[in-house]
Amino acid sequence: QSDAYAGYNTLAKPGRQPAPVVSAGCWAHGRRGLFKIAERDKAPLAIEAVGRIDAIFQAERTINGTPPEHRLAVRQTDIAPLVDDLFDWMRECCRRMSTKNPVAHAMNYFLRRADTFTRFLTDGRICLTNNAAERALRGIALGRKAWLFAGSDRGGERAAAMYSLIVTARLNDVDPQAWLADVLARINDIPNPRLHELLPWHWKAHQQVHNTIAA
């Protein structure tokens, strides 16, 4: 799930190995262009478009965090009609505007990619936006000058592996500092076939059992 950066297009090409990536549009990126015009120029059509998109966001908030099956069911009954109405209305608006009109240009960002922007309606696992992924990357982006200490491609690969492990710990509700300190103290004494025991989800289960026994 992403914005419309052209560099991602090759990922979805037929024949890509091991398989083409299925692309889903980010509604936050799509909304942004219309919101800027509505805020800056007070253009009525842009204001109405933002209002219609916000109604979709509001409907989506009611199912955030629920199982994919439930999200899909609600989307098909409650949200799909909002999306269909939005796209029909945008098409009608664009027929009455010059293609050079900024509002038409912002609407066409959606219309040219209708298949990717409606993909979330057919798969409950897909989010409306990729904001969560962008927030997760923000720490690395903000510190990118500090990451120059990696010094080489190999150093960069090792740093990427460490970032992945740290984020994995966080996703498993494990304190990365406590986990890394324990793993680094124990790793030399554990045979290779048992290294998987140090992965965050196994480590967390072991710590919970250990704490229960200690209590």
Instruction: Provide the 3-class DSSP secondary structure of residue 14.
Output: coil
Same domain for 119 and 202, yes or no, is no
Same domain for 61 and 166, yes or no, is no
Same domain for 167 and 123, yes or no, is no
What is residue 31's predicted lDDT score, i.e. its pLDDT?
A: 96
Q: Which range marks the domain in which residue 167 is found?
A: 149-214
Residue 20 lies in a domain: yes
Q: pLDDT tens digit string along 43-88? A: 999 999 999 999 999 999 999 999 999 999 999 999 999 999 999 9
pTM of the entire structure? 0.72
Same domain for 118 and 170, yes or no, is no
Would you tell me how many other CB atoms lie within 10 Å of the CB of residue 4? Answer: 17
- In the structure, what pLDDT confidence band is assigned to residue 214 with cuts at 50, 70 and 90? low
- In the structure, what pLDDT confidence band is assigned to residue 147 with cuts at 50, 70 and 90? low
User: Domain count of the chain?
Assistant: 2
What's the chain's average pLDDT?
A: 90
Same domain for 159 and 105, yes or no, is no
45 burial level (CB within 10 Å; 0-12, 13-18, 19+): buried
Q: pLDDT tens digit string along 8-28? A: 889 989 999 999 999 999 999
The domain boundary residue, chosen from 130, 159, 193: 130
d(CA 200, CA 118): 36
The first and second tokens of residue 172, run together, are 């498993």
Same domain for 15 and 112, yes or no, is yes
If you count them, how many residues does the chain have? Answer: 215
